[in-house]
Amino acid sequence: MELDARISLVQDIGVGYGEDIDHVKYTVLQLMRECPYVISKPEPRVLLIELGDFAKIFRMYGWVEDYSDEFVATRLVTQEC
């Protein structure tokens, strides 16, 4: 029996209240789709999860093929945001 090494990426991203919600979701999704470590199935998602005191908080969800790619993929996506 072979173990599945896939792992989910879950990362919160805060943006200022002046940022458009649809634009933030679109941009983060594009970055996730362009990241060579993030796989396309299941499809990455970005959700607005909180309206904080100083920022809108989004949560990005994605998957990488191997758990050893989790850190690299998260860094690549979030450094571009």
Averaged pLDDT score across all residues of the chain: 91
Q: Which two tokens stand for residue 1?
A: 């029996």
Domain count, the chain: 1
Residue 1 maps to a domain:
no
Q: Is the pLDDT of residue 1 over 70?
A: no
Residue 36 maps to a domain:
yes
Residue 50 maps to a domain:
yes
Residue 56 maps to a domain:
yes
49 and 61 Cβ atoms separated by less than 8 Å: no
For residue 51, count CB atoms less than 10 angstroms from its CB and return exposed for 0-12, middle for 13-18, buried for 19 or more.
exposed
**3-state SS class at 11:** strand
- Predicted TM-score (pTM) of the model is 0.86
Residue 61 maps to a domain:
yes
Instruction: Note the pLDDT of residue 43.
Output: 95
Residue 2 maps to a domain:
no
Cα gap 59→13, rounded to integer Å: 6
| Domain hosting residue 12, numbered range | 7-80
Cα gap 33→43, rounded to integer Å: 9
Residue 62 maps to a domain:
yes
Cα gap 29→54, rounded to integer Å: 23
CATH number for 18: 3.30.70.100
